[in-house]
Structures are given as C-alpha cells and as structure tokens.
Amino acid sequence: MTRGSLGAALQAMAEEGGFSVPVRASTSLDHAVVDSALPHRGPLLISAWASKRQFSIQGEGSIQYAPLIQGDTDDLAQLARAAQAWHDGAALSDIRQAAPFVHLTGRFEVPDHDPVRLTESEWQHLRTMARAGKLPGYHALVEAAYAEPALRALYPFTSHWALRFSTTTGPFTSIVGPCLLADGIDRYTVSTGFTGSGVLAEATTAQEAVAAAVRHLPSGLGPVTSGAFPAENRCEPGS
C-alpha cells in the first residue's frame, strides 16, 4: 500500500470522500481495527490480502465475538464507507446498502445480551448459512431442528457440519444432547460424537433424525444462560 499501512490508506480514502474513519492503531501494517459507537458492538476487523489487492472485513458483537457482517472487496472506497457506517452505529442492513460487498450473516444484534435472544440470533445465522449452502440435506436438518421447540430452545452450533446444542450461549458452550449429522439428502445420523461415533439412531429424513435427538435429550433443561467471557480477554489481530 502506497500510504504505508492499511489504516492510513483507509483514513485517506475516507477524507477524499468527505468523512472520517477513526482507525485504532495496529502493530500490523496490513490490519486495521475500527471501533463502534455502540457498546454492544465489538470491533470491525479489517485485513489486506498478501496475494492481491483485496480486503476482508468482519464486524462482531461485543460478547460472543461472532460475526454480524463479513465481506471481501477490492474497492477501498466501499471499505471506508462500511467502516464509517459500522463506527457510526448504522443498522446492519444500512451498512450493506452503503457498501454492497457486505454480507449479513443472519445474526441480529442483541443490545442487552439476553441469552434467549442470542440463541434465536444464532439460529437465524445457521438457517441463513444453510440456505445459502450447497448441502440440501444439511439445510433440511437445520430447518427440521429449528421447527422442534425442544431443540429451538437450545443454543445451536456446528462442528464439522454436524449440528450440536448447548445450554449456554457462545463462546463458552455447554454441550447437551446428541449430535445430528446429514450424510446426504436422505441419510442422517444421531450420535454421541460429532464424527458420527457412538451412533444412537439413523434416519432417512431430517424430521426422523430430529425426533430421535429429542428422545435422547436429558430431562429438566432450563432456559439457556450466558456463556460469555469478559471483554478484556479479547485479542485483536496484529496485537
């Protein structure tokens, strides 16, 4: 980059556009961090590719550190607009409108960090990703699990394309119940291990697999609680 660092290039591009982007100092020339005015938002992490002129962003929540927005672009002007919108607290949909390269992950913001709402946000993320993917069996599995109240009440997460559940929100999950794996369009495994080990049941439809998973849930599960860790444990890129 001709201006010496990604942060400097970003600030210069913003000034050319008639606005400013406060970029936090980074020890890495190819990384930049832009904080948000909203306390429930974490930083916007920006990085430059080494192989070509390309930039990546990831905007996170302040508790789970799970991405709310992502994207890649070679347009520094759009990158600056996205950074400004994130910093100013624009709605996620407005950030995408300001910078069309921005991808919404399906998660929505939960300012009060309510675990039940964070759980619903994570379900929306999984449904968005499954719908956009090229694995119809996995998509069917996610939708069938979401349609089942006993599973929808649990915090969902994936590991190696296996669907798992927790009684706490991320990042510190407390795994509960079996693991669901889509092996194809009409082959599903319910197991104790995410690799399919410890098979509990096999099914030919997502609904059958979900019903089997519910039968293996422990009784007496209460509402989902927070699995967050303190913000001071956060490490930024280049730090």
Given this model, what pLDDT does residue 229 score? 65
Given this model, what pLDDT does residue 3 score? 56
* pLDDT for 233 beyond 60: no
**For the chain, what is the HEC assignment?**
CCCCCHHHHHHHHHHHCCCCCCCECCCCCCEEEECCCCCCEEEEEEEECCCCCCEEEEEEECCCCCEEEEEEECCHHHHHHHHHHHHHCCCHHHHHHHCCCCEECCCCCCCCCCHHHHHHHHHHHHHHHHHHCCCHHHHHHHHHHHHCHHHHCCEEEEECCEEEEECECCCCCCECCCEEEECCCCCEEEECCCCCCCEEEEECCHHHHHHHHHHCCCCCCCCCECCCCCHHHCCCCCC
Cα(205)–Cα(140) distance, rounded to whole angstroms? 9
Cα(105)–Cα(29) distance, rounded to whole angstroms? 27
Q: What are the domain boundaries of the chain?
A: 6-105, 115-215
pLDDT band at 176 (very low <50, low <70, confident <90, very high): very high
More confidently predicted of 159 and 118: 118
Tell me: the pLDDT tens digits for 35-67?
A: 999 999 999 999 999 889 999 999 999 888 889
Query: Mean of the pLDDT values across residues 155-182?
Result: 92
Query: Mean of the pLDDT values across residues 76-80?
Result: 96
Minimum mean pLDDT range among 3-12, 45-54, 74-83: 3-12
* pLDDT for 232 beyond 50: no
Q: Is the pTM of this model over 0.85?
A: yes
Query: Mean of the pLDDT values across residues 82-105?
Result: 97
Quick one: tokens of 124? Answer: 């929306």
What is the C-alpha radius of gyration for the chain, rounded to an integer number of angstroms? Answer: 20
